[in-house]
Structure 1
């Protein structure tokens, strides 16, 4: 299962009401580091599909959700469990580091 694009309109349904823990990647088209971690997040979303859902929010197209979360820099990733933020990570990281962070947080 590839990452899902989430909008301000679908954020509550896809993230806050999800039965699985959800990693939200706040990103933008012009952000170099965002593009660097994109493929790693795609791979992790397939490898860890039974444990976690990974979604992406384009901050340029959806300003409300990142504002709500206090996102200041991108890429910013937030891990939600039961509708609550349990962990967050700012900046690009190698796939192994992303995977460790997700596993420790879920």
Structure 2
């Protein structure tokens, strides 16, 4: 009986291999509208937790009455400042209510 296999060290699983979803979002710059709503929060949390290679999420955030956009983002996503960038806008306005410099930023960077 050949017992050579017992002396061999077991192969470590390749944990650096990306799943198909992780590979899809690798280095992606994503624009999300509705990111401060219930489903948006779930989507963003899942993307940040599951897709470490994701580069940046741009959130189109509408200012609410007396609530500044950066304050709302900081409250809802306190630990992900490096991956999330809030962009002031409004989907009901022409050109999403974006300032020209924000529109240019999104045009130049967003891939999804």
Structure 2 length normalisation: TM-score?
Answer: 0.31
The answer to which structure has the higher strand fraction is 1
Structure 1 length normalisation: TM-score?
Answer: 0.33
Q: Which has the higher contact order (CA 8 A, sep 6+)?
A: 1
